Amino acid sequence: MKTHAVRIYGKNDLRLESFELPRIQDDEILAQVICDSICMSSYKAATQGTGHKRIPDDIAVHPTMIGHEFSGKIIEVGKKWQASFKAGEKFSIQPAINYEKGPVGILSAPGYSYRYIGGDATYIIIPNEVMQQNCLLPYTGAGFYPAALAEPLSCVIGAMHANYHTSPGSYIHTMEIVDKGCMAILAGVGPMGLAAINYVIHREDRKPRILVVTDIDQTRLDRAELLYSKGLAKQKGIELLYVNTKNTADPKTFLMNLTNGNGYNDVFVFAPVAPVVELGDAILAFDGCLNFFAGPADTHFSAQYNFYNVHYSFTHIVGTSGGNNNDMQEAIDMMSRGLDPAGLITHIGGLDAVIPTTLHLPEIPGGKKLIYTNLSLPLTAISDFKNKTDVPLFKDLASITNKNKGLWSLEAEEYLLQHGKSITA
């Protein structure tokens, strides 16, 4: 089977290549990737090369495929897995394997560490190591992009589950956010912040009483409120507030006043910026938990933290990097029941858009960049479809997205897959 794939050979050295995949072994699965969401983690991997923890040292000789937020359908199943999987089934991938001893290191992951599996490809081979860790997850919902975005949603889910709280006089840590408590999501209207808001609002088992979302970009705040309105949150029993801290003279006092001075039980920091971390620390309630969600590129990143409150107010901090299989399954279940992550997506493109998009990701505004890997298409903002109506494809996509508040949709995806230009053409 011939595949087209973007592979990494070193720092800033990504190449779109066509080559033959080896015949699958009895313990492997051949699959077609349909779409991949480009993540900032891929940018970090591309710019760090072998300096990245998940990238093998020999990529100059044995390049690996990039892309780890992807979905597709199974083409052929090796004998070992034929009782569990069938050709034609749709899937999502849990990329963070994290097994103790593996062929490419302790943090092995599809999209970083393997020669024949990654999201930015037309066809891939899912190896036995991935299968043994139950990282191939069936998806029975509609379309493909929800399954691709299950991975970023799982990261948010994992963060919520990782928070913990204590009781004075007890050494038991109670995992999870405080039900009917106060929650703040700082720098929270980027793609992952939007995923967090979406999850918090639609989660059924527990949710905060107050959710405050901050940022310094009013345009992004306005878009977040359009997607996830205060009215929608109120229907779910949540008082949702969007706050532009850039326009606030004293952000700490303003945010504390929203809780009558009590502070926030759960604070999530979505940007690796020291003042944001320090603001999160400053607004913690008694026994408050700060989750440092954003992964910094700077290995020496640090911020001030109030250890007086650690001692006397039991404040504490956790960090999470990705979700586990249970988090992925929860994400997929929510997608299958109709949770739509389309609000995260601001751009679409084809496989030939992967390299410039990945290498310049921090410079491209907006949310998730969704790649349809079997197509040739420049990266295009959904909001720009209306400006490209001289191209029939974009004219029709503009009509479809306009019916859906300017958002991507299952209808738009189906149309694109039927009418887009093949990468092999």
Residue range 199-225, pLDDT digits in tens: 999 998 999 999 999 999 999 999 999
| pLDDT above 60 (res 103) | no
**Mean pLDDT, residues 119-135:** 94
| pLDDT band, very low/low/confident/very high, at 18 (cuts 50, 70, 90) | very high
Q: What pLDDT score was predicted for residue 107?
A: 67
Q: What pLDDT score was predicted for residue 98?
A: 58
| pLDDT above 70 (res 105) | no
| pLDDT above 50 (res 104) | no
CB-based contact 282:274 (threshold 8 Å): no
| pLDDT above 80 (res 325) | yes
CB-based contact 93:70 (threshold 8 Å): yes
- CB neighbours of residue 289 within 10 Å: 25
Residue range 69-96, pLDDT digits in tens: 999 999 999 999 999 999 999 999 988 7
| pLDDT band, very low/low/confident/very high, at 321 (cuts 50, 70, 90) | confident
Q: Which residues contact 381 (CB under 8 A, 6 or more apart)?
A: 346, 347, 366
| 103-117, 161-175, 233-247, 276-290: least confident range | 103-117
Which of the listed CATH numbers 3.40.190.10, 1.10.3720.10, 3.40.309.10, 3.40.50.720 matches domain 163-319? 3.40.50.720
**Mean pLDDT, residues 9-19:** 97
Residue range 248-267, pLDDT digits in tens: 999 999 999 999 999 999 99
Report the C-alpha gap between 118 and 354 in whole angstroms. 12
Superfamily of domain 2-149+341-382: Medium-chain alcohol dehydrogenases, catalytic domain (3.90.180.10)
Q: What pLDDT score was predicted for residue 298?
A: 85
Q: Which residues contact 299 (CB under 8 A, 6 or more apart)?
A: none
Q: What pLDDT score was predicted for residue 162?
A: 97
| pLDDT above 60 (res 101) | no
Q: What percent of the chain has pLDDT over 70?
A: 98
| pLDDT above 80 (res 99) | no
| pLDDT above 60 (res 377) | yes
| pLDDT above 70 (res 100) | no
CB-based contact 8:16 (threshold 8 Å): no
Q: What pLDDT score was predicted for residue 167?
A: 87
Q: Which residues pair with 19 in a beta bridge?
A: 3
| pLDDT band, very low/low/confident/very high, at 102 (cuts 50, 70, 90) | very low
Report the C-alpha gap between 36 and 30 in whole angstroms. 17
Domain ranges of the chain: 2-149+341-382, 163-319
Average pLDDT of the chain is 94
Q: Which residues pair with 243 in a beta bridge?
A: 214
Residue range 343-353, pLDDT digits in tens: 899 999 999 99
Q: Tokens 């949709």 map to which residue?
A: 409
